Structure 1
Amino acid sequence: MGFKRAWSATGVVALTGALLLTSAPTASADYIRDRQWVIDVINFEKVWAESQGEGVTVAVVDSGVDGSHPDLTGQVLKGKDVTGSGDAQMDTDGHGTGMASLIAGHGHGANNAAGVMGLAPKVKILPVKAAVADDYDDDQWAKGIRYAVDQGADVINLSFTDPLASPGSEGAKAIEYAQQHDVVVVAGTGNDGIEHLPYPAKLPGVVAVGAVDESLKIWENSNYGRGVTVVAPGVKIVGADPSRSNKYAEADGTSDATAYVSATAALVRAKYPDLTAGQVINRLIKSATFLDREVKEVPDEEYGYGLIRPYSALTMDIPKGPKQGPLAQAAPSTSTTSGAASDGNSTSQAKKKKSSSGNIFFVAGIAAVVVVVGIAIAVIRSRRNGGSGGPGSGGGTPPAGTGYPPQPSGYQQYAQTPPSHGYPTPPEQDPQYPNPYAPQPPHQGQ
């Protein structure tokens, strides 16, 4: 054991008519649809004009996915149960089906106006059942990842944390296998509200996702720290849940945020099939926004590189950048923290450990050489910084004081677009109106 869902256990509630009729707008076409505040905030309709994820497969490594749910019919492939307990489409827990619905739900009924609508409704879901009642280990989800890769998954969604995993574990090796086969791997940062990134989000090259609430501020229970990549909505999220009597539930958690980022990656892969997984991640990062947040250093320990903007990720003029992308180049000192864009090469923790015996003068000599080389590099960079990259160059060094890390050659600087680009300016939280988006007209479906 050791697996932990990135859904907040205390934040999952069944959605019944009695619960929702007290809060849903009277103009509601469907009370489940009206609870999906993310639809209006991200503006799904505008995003779908650019991409709906057609031709892309997202593997959901989780508790299984119920392909018979009315909001997922026709979207779920056969998949595999790596636990050996049964069918990948048997989901008695409901978590995996919920994640799949946020990614590829298409609703149901007239004009698909009822039920859950996912961000990438034409994506195919590959269900990989790697847990039975939260009971599975590193070996199981590692097998699930390898299976997903071999089946041609373009994106792998990991909405869980595993405190027993490690850099040299089977899970870490499986993620490396996925990255070697050009797969985008996305994982949640966890729901403990502490400065700690767990595995698998902590591993190099993984898109580590935190959660924001309805005001688009960091959720109080979202784990934070060095290595957060981006954030996405993760509070009061309605998803499909076959374990509930009416097949739906509302939950809080970085699980849900992870699903939205996986869906965004799928949308980008569908529109730009020539991009590598690393270049897809580059678009996610370069199109993200901090809105009006004051961030001193990027990546920020709470927001990472910012809040995802699916429409901007699809439409912004962003150079491809290196094939490996900005996350796969984790420096040796950060190889176990996922992370920030870096110029170094990925090295496992085991390889970094050396015997403490040796000549201390030899070590001191190396340190002196490093200092001299560092000074030389600083001088060279200082000279290079004297010139401007010019408009549209995509290169150059950020102005002093911005806190942005130096980017590899060919990388565009992070967009400093107005807060209204892609998201409405988040209103101040008013205690009389806990949901700032409640006054918005209800979504009427496709």
Structure 2
Amino acid sequence: MIFKRVWATTSVVALTGAVLLTSAPNASADYIRDKQWVIDVINFKKVWSESQGQGVTVAVVDTGVDGSHPDLVGQVLKGKNVTGNGEEAQDDTDGHGTGMASIIAGQGHGVNNSSGVIGLAPRAKILPIKAANVDDFNDDQWANGIRYAVDQGADVINLSFTDSLASPGSEGAKAIEYAQQHDAVVVAGTGNDGIDELPYPAKLPGVVAVGAVDESLDVWDNSNYGDGVTLVAPGVNIVEADPSQSSGYSNGTGTSDATAYVSATAALIRAKYPDLTAGQVINRLIKSATFLDRKVKRVPDEEYGYGLIRPYSALTMDIPKGPKQGPLAQSSQSSSANSGTASRDDDNTNQAKKKKSSSGNIFLIAGVAGAVVVAAVLFAVIRSRRNGRGGGPGPGGGTSPQGTGNLPQPPAGYQQYPHAAAPNQGYPTPPGQSPQHPNPYAQQPPHQGQ
């Protein structure tokens, strides 16, 4: 059965022109790395001192993953194509799956891996599950893909799409339940329509439902909200590998990208704490999250869920393991009871909560308001990935014009970040904090419970 499906990435802007997929001038390579604002905000180097995702497999159920992309060479396992079209799991003409994989486990390329896209968990392995040919998903097929991934030992399963037919009792829901029974962390995007409704599979019990925040760490206006949001993560202006573009790169925005960052964080936790169950990994994700200075009166909040991910805190905080099933399994039985026990201090749960409107109504972090990551670059082309299937566009669906233009060359006098290898890691040292993106994590906001 063909389902109504919407990408959890709304738009992708091609990064073309100066940047080449294989051999590129240093300026161009640094230009790609320079645009990765999340490196500064999360402080990848600090996170990598605790974990790089080693020994963990993340299944990316998507359009396939191009393992020949320079930033993913050696990172992608064989995987499986469940579409029946005769292609390999590493055939990705759409580029969406490759983009998600690069956010999770990209390791860059070139000297000291200082060029291209670097992922948050660069030593995790990607298991590609090709479940779509551009936009043709099949409910039974992607469900079979999840089961295959579980049987191959996947520790984390990334679902950067929505499916209006994946309700309880569907093949997709049964496959996700199978994954949870076999101790896999399942992560899905909340969708990109800016409405008070979560889609499937994100709102299925036990699934980590992820919304997106922008460069100021405000909830992105088009991120769906409401009951069931678990966490938020960066999802605006995210540079990712993209074999569908002549440059090999694109700039994506949507809850797809945020989902990939949460999957990467789960991989980091599983690498450092291999004895934790999937539920206990989710517990650590939730209890290390933060609302920064956002005012909420009930936890989980309808927009932020349990808060913004903090990968380093997730790896280092003193957090009891908790029940094997984790907080989401408990919440599915009694949301009101567990909202008071799901790792939030009383002062946080009693704070006033803002109404949904625009990011301007959220209290901004000092020094972050108005931050714009690509001030010198004009994006000319928008590629929509919000196509609907099965009877018309899904919620917020439809197709925007697909562009073919090129990104302008880096401006004259463009200064690259000085990249260097991180000690004993073989990965580049992230750029220093720039005036555009002071690190809000460094402000050490109160954590959300122990």
Alignment CA distance shift 1:171-1:259 (3 Å)? same
The question of whether the paired residues in 2 share the 8 Å contact of 1:216 and 1:426 is answered with no
Alignment CA distance shift 1:101-1:302 (3 Å)? same
Deviation at 1:429, TM superposition (A): 2.7
Q: Distance in 1 between matches of 2:347 and 2:292?
A: 21
Aligned to 1:427: 367
Answering whether residue 22 of structure 2 is matched by residue 30 of structure 1, we say no
The question of whether the paired residues in 1 share the 8 Å contact of 2:9 and 2:257 is answered with yes
Answering whether residue 194 of structure 2 is matched by residue 193 of structure 1, we say yes
Q: Deviations over 1:315-364 (max 9, x none)?
A: 000000000000012445x7xxxxx58569xxxxxxxxxxxxxxxxxxxx
Equivalent residues in 2 for 1:291-302, closer than 5 Å: 291-302=292-303
Deviation at 1:166, TM superposition (A): 1.2
Which residue of the other structure, out of 332, 338, 349, is the alignment partner of 1:402? Answer: 349
Alignment CA distance shift 1:114-1:79 (3 Å)? same
Q: Distance in 2 between matches of 1:291 and 1:58?
A: 29
Does the residue aligned with 2:328 lie in a helix, a strand or coil? coil
Alignment CA distance shift 1:401-1:47 (3 Å)? closer
Aligned to 2:6: 4
The question of whether the paired residues in 2 share the 8 Å contact of 1:194 and 1:221 is answered with yes
Aligned to 1:84: 84
Answering whether residue 266 of structure 2 is matched by residue 265 of structure 1, we say yes
Does the residue aligned with 1:304 lie in a helix, a strand or coil? coil
The question of whether the paired residues in 1 share the 8 Å contact of 2:286 and 2:307 is answered with yes
Deviation at 1:427, TM superposition (A): 2.7
The letter for the 1-side match of 2:63 is: S
Aligned to 2:107: 106
Q: Distance in 2 between matches of 1:396 and 1:108?
A: 40
Aligned to 1:63: 63
Alignment CA distance shift 1:145-1:426 (3 Å)? farther
TM-score computed with the length of structure 1 as normaliser:
0.76
The question of whether the paired residues in 1 share the 8 Å contact of 2:61 and 2:97 is answered with yes
Structure 1, unmatched stretches of 5+, are 21-25, 335-339, 345-380, 382-393, 405-423
Deviation at 1:221, TM superposition (A): 0.5
Deviation at 1:428, TM superposition (A): 4.6
Q: Distance in 2 between matches of 1:257 and 1:330?
A: 22
Does the residue aligned with 1:262 lie in a helix, a strand or coil? helix
The question of whether the paired residues in 2 share the 8 Å contact of 1:278 and 1:323 is answered with yes
Aligned to 2:404: none
The letter for the 2-side match of 1:81 is: N
Task: Give identity over the alignment, percent.
Answer: 74
Q: Distance in 1 between matches of 2:127 and 2:118?
A: 18
The letter for the 2-side match of 1:171 is: G
Q: Distance in 2 between matches of 1:115 and 1:74?
A: 15
The question of whether the paired residues in 2 share the 8 Å contact of 1:326 and 1:341 is answered with no
Q: Deviations over 1:232-291 (max 9, x none)?
A: 000000000000001100010000000000000000000000000000000000000111
The question of whether the paired residues in 2 share the 8 Å contact of 1:40 and 1:443 is answered with no
Alignment CA distance shift 1:91-1:44 (3 Å)? same
The question of whether the paired residues in 2 share the 8 Å contact of 1:59 and 1:156 is answered with yes
Alignment CA distance shift 1:395-1:89 (3 Å)? closer
Aligned to 2:159: 158
CA RMSD of aligned residues (A): 2.8
Aligned to 1:286: 287
Q: Distance in 2 between matches of 1:37 and 1:328?
A: 34
Q: Distance in 2 between matches of 1:206 and 1:82?
A: 22
Answering whether residue 252 of structure 2 is matched by residue 305 of structure 1, we say no
Aligned to 2:206: 205
Deviation at 1:164, TM superposition (A): 2.1
Answering whether residue 326 of structure 2 is matched by residue 325 of structure 1, we say yes
Q: Distance in 2 between matches of 1:239 and 1:41?
A: 17
Does the residue aligned with 2:169 lie in a helix, a strand or coil? coil
Q: Distance in 2 between matches of 1:90 and 1:176?
A: 28
The question of whether the paired residues in 2 share the 8 Å contact of 1:429 and 1:436 is answered with no
Larger radius of gyration: 1
Structure 2, unmatched stretches of 5+, are 21-25, 352-363, 377-414, 420-427, 430-450
Q: Deviations over 1:423-446 (max 9, x none)?
A: x9553533xx634999x9947224
Q: Distance in 2 between matches of 1:395 and 1:166?
A: 25
Q: Distance in 2 between matches of 1:188 and 1:443?
A: 34
The question of whether the paired residues in 2 share the 8 Å contact of 1:52 and 1:122 is answered with yes
After alignment, is 288-297 or 301-310 more displaced? 288-297
Q: Deviations over 1:135-174 (max 9, x none)?
A: 1122111111100000000000000001122111000001
The letter for the 1-side match of 2:191 is: G
Q: Deviations over 1:361-399 (max 9, x none)?
A: xxxxxxxxxxxxxxxxxxxx9xxxxxxxxxxxx999954
Aligned to 1:115: 116
Q: Distance in 1 between matches of 2:285 and 2:177?
A: 20
Q: Distance in 2 between matches of 1:151 and 1:397?
A: 36
Aligned to 2:394: none
Aligned to 2:95: 94
Alignment CA distance shift 1:162-1:443 (3 Å)? farther
Q: Distance in 2 between matches of 1:250 and 1:241?
A: 9
* Matched pairs, number: 364
Does the residue aligned with 1:12 lie in a helix, a strand or coil? strand
Does the residue aligned with 1:205 lie in a helix, a strand or coil? coil
Does the residue aligned with 1:60 lie in a helix, a strand or coil? strand
The letter for the 2-side match of 1:40 is: D
